[in-house]
Amino acid sequence: MKTDPFDLTGQVAIVTGAGTGIGRAIAYLLADHGADLVLAGRKVEPLEVTAAEVLARGRRASVIPTDVKDAKACERLVEAAMETYGRLDILINNAGGSRAKSLDTWTLEDFNDMVALNLTSVWVLSLAAGKHMRVRGGSIVNISSMASLRAVPHSAPYGAAKAGVNNLTAVLSVDMAPYKIRVNCIACGTIKSEGFLRAMDRLKLDPDVTGGANPMGRAGEVDEIAWPTLFLVSKGASFITGQTIAVSGGPIS
C-alpha cells in the first residue's frame, strides 16, 4: 500500500502571522493534510477565525497571541505548543511586514524594528523550536520576499532583513541537519494578501497590473504560497534543505 508523502497526521505545526493572508492559507492547508495547529499573531480575533476553520476541518487548534518582536514571547509560544501537544514537528516563520519610506526618513529605531520583526524573530523561534524537534526531526519554513534578492527602492531595512532570512535558512540547515531538521525558505513575489489588496483599493490600482511585473503577468494568490510550503514540510521534500525558493511568477519578478 502506497503512503501519501503529504500526510501530516499526528504532526503539530506552529504558524506565525496565522490570522490573515499567507499564514491563514498555510494553516488551512496543513490542517487539510492532518496537522494540528498552534496559531500565533498579535491580534486574537483573526486567530480565532482561523482556529474555528481548522477545527471545522477536524483538526485541533490553539490560539497563542504573540508579538514575534518580543524574544521572550517567541520562547513562550514554543513552550505553550509543547505543553499543549507534547511535540513539535513544523515551524512556519511567516510573521513579518514591510514599510517603504524615502531613505532620509528611516530612523535607527525603524531599522531595528524591521530587523526584529523579519529576522530576529526567525532566529529566536527556530532555535527554540529546534531544541524540541531534535527528538524526532522536523521542518522549518521561513517566508521571505523577492525584496531579499533585488533592490526595492525605499525598502532597504526590509530587504536587508529578508536577505538575512535567506542566509540564516542556509546556515541553520547545516547546523540542524544532524538532528534531521530541515530548514527551507520561500521568497514570495507580490501576493494578494489582505494588506496588499487594501492598499490597491485605497490607491485605486489593479492588483494584477501593479503586482504583475513578472513573466506570468499577475500577482499571486495566498494559496500559491501555501502549496509550496506544504511540499517543503512534507516527506515529498525529504532531501531538500537549506534552499530559498522563489515563488514569484518568474525569475525577474
Give the span between the Cα atoms of 119 and 117, in whole angstroms.
6
Give the residue numbers marked as catalytic: 158
Q: Determine the Cα–Cα distance for residues 233 and 228; give it in Å rounded to an integer.
A: 9
* Residue in this structure with the C-alpha cell 494578501, named with its chain if needed: 193
How deeply is 109 buried, as exposed, middle or buried, from its count of CB atoms within 10 A (0-12, 13-18, 19+)? exposed
Q: What is the per-residue pLDDT across 153-167, written as a single tens digit (0 to 9) for each?
A: 999 999 999 999 999
pLDDT at 157: 96
| Three cell numbers written together for 162 | 529578508
Per-residue pLDDT at 203 exceeds 80: yes
Q: Which three cell numbers stand for residue 234?
A: 512534507
pLDDT at site 251 = 85
Would you say residue 209 has pLDDT above 90? no
Backbone angles phi, psi at 123, to 5 degrees: -60, -50
The residue ranges of every structural domain in the chain are 12-247
Question: And the C-alpha cell for 242?
Answer: 537549506
| CA-closest candidate to residue 95, choices 131, 132, 142 | 142
DSSP-assigned letter for residue 191: B
Domain 12-247 in CATH 2.60.40.420? The answer is no
Pairwise CA distance, residues 22 & 29, whole Å: 11
State the pLDDT at residue 252: 64
Specify whether the CB–CB gap between 13 and 30 falls below 8 A.
Answer: yes
Which carries the bigger pLDDT value, residue 210 or residue 132?
Answer: 132
Q: Taking residues 104-118, report their average pLDDT.
A: 97
Total-model pTM: 0.96
Q: Give the C-alpha separation, 75 to 194, whole Å.
A: 28
